[in-house]
């Protein structure tokens, strides 16, 4: 079993789609091991997305991720990272496959509903950013 991080972005929460996205993830075989609702500060968003600091979209990404509540979620299943990437769909919602989270709930390349870790190593770092060990429910 592998654990990965998803973040339901402010657009998803504001549109009232957080429950739908969580149900979509569960129907795709994920088990929720941790979940919280929070409003990222500018410093938190900048720290989380620091890898993109030199990219032209960094400022707008930080602005977007701080405009409303987000829902970080620890998800578990076999091949969780790769499977979540498939279930999320392409970053650009116009290129996302039918039935993916981004195609269903995203509205643009930036307002694309959900973040997901891109590797097992990054998943471990990103999970630790939002959850302590005692915050995650162990598998039965």
Which CATH number fits the domain that encloses residue 38?
Answer: 3.30.70.141
Q: Is 74 part of a structural domain of the chain?
A: yes
Residue 83 is among the residues annotated as catalytic for this protein: no
Q: Is 50 part of a structural domain of the chain?
A: yes
Strand runs labelled E in the chain:
2-8, 31-35, 71-77, 114-116
Q: Is 91 part of a structural domain of the chain?
A: yes
At residue 50, does pLDDT exceed 60? yes
Q: Is 140 part of a structural domain of the chain?
A: no
At residue 16, does pLDDT exceed 60? yes
% residues pLDDT > 70 (the chain): 99
Give 139's pLDDT tier (boundaries 50, 70, 90).
low
Q: Is 52 part of a structural domain of the chain?
A: yes
Per the structure, the count of domains in the chain is 1
Q: Is 37 part of a structural domain of the chain?
A: yes
Domain that holds residue 92: 2-135
Strand 2-8 vs strand 31-35: parallel, antiparallel, or unpaired? unpaired
Q: Please work out, in degrees rounded to the nearest 5, the angle formed at the alpha carbon of residue 70 by the alpha carbons of 66 and 71.
A: 160
- What is the maximum span of the chain, computed from C-alpha positions, in angstroms? 44
Asked if residue 55 lies in contact with residue 49, where contact means CB atoms within 8 angstroms, the answer is no
**Regarding predicted confidence, which is higher, 52 or 16?**
16
- Active-site choice (52, 83, 115, 133): 115
At residue 12, does pLDDT exceed 80? yes
Q: Is 49 part of a structural domain of the chain?
A: yes
pLDDT score for 92: 94
């Amino acid at each position: 079993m592998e654990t990965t991080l998803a973040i339901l972005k402010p657009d998803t929460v504001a549109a009232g789609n957080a429950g739908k996205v969580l149900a979509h993830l569960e129907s795709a075989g994920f088990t929720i091991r941790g979940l919280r609702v929070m409003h990222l500060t500018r410093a938190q968003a900048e720290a989380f997305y620091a890898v993109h600091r030199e990219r032209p979209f960094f400022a707008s990404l930080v602005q977007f991720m701080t405009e409303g509540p987000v829902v970080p979620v620890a998800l578990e299943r076999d091949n969780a990272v790769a499977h979540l990437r498939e279930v999320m769909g392409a970053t650009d919602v116009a290129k996302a496959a039918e039935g993916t989270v981004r195609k269903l709930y995203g509205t643009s390349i930036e307002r694309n509903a959900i973040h997901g870790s891109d590797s097992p190593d990054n998943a471990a770092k990103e999970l630790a950013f939002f959850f302590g060990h005692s915050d995650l429910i162990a598998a039965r």
